[in-house]
Amino acid sequence: MIFRVYVNFKDGILDPEAEAIKQTIANMGLNSVKNLVKGKFFDIEVEDKKNYLSEIEKISKDLLANPIIENFKIVKK
């Protein structure tokens, strides 16, 4: 079983990397792009043990995302 955890910056946090990419896109003269948001994902393969869901949640909350700056979302693949 694979779960995908998406992590991205909360609204209102200026993501320097996304800003740089947007700038570069503009410099490349590609003008159909209006906005760009960046994030990470983690595909976590788990064994079908009792507690796998709580483990994935713990991993997402305590490790993969920093709740001060990031949101996360867990999706079954």
Q: Which stretches of the chain bind a copy of itself, using CB under 8 A?
A: 6, 21, 24-25, 28, 30-47, 49, 51-52, 55-56, 58-59, 62-64
Torsion of CA 50, 56, 58, 62, to 10 degrees: 160
Cβ–Cβ < 8 Å for 76, 1: yes
Shortest Cβ 68–a copy of itself spacing (Å): 19
How many CB atoms neighbour CB 53 within 10 A?
A: 14
CB of 25 to other proteins, least distance (A): 9
Q: How far apart are CA 4 and CA 41, in angstroms?
A: 7
How many chain residues interact with other proteins (CB under 8 A)? 19
Asked if 69 touches other proteins (CB under 8 A), the answer is yes
Residue 37 binds other proteins (CB under 8 A): no
- Verify binding: residue 5, other proteins, rule CB under 8 A: no
Which residues are 70's β-sheet partners?
Answer: 9
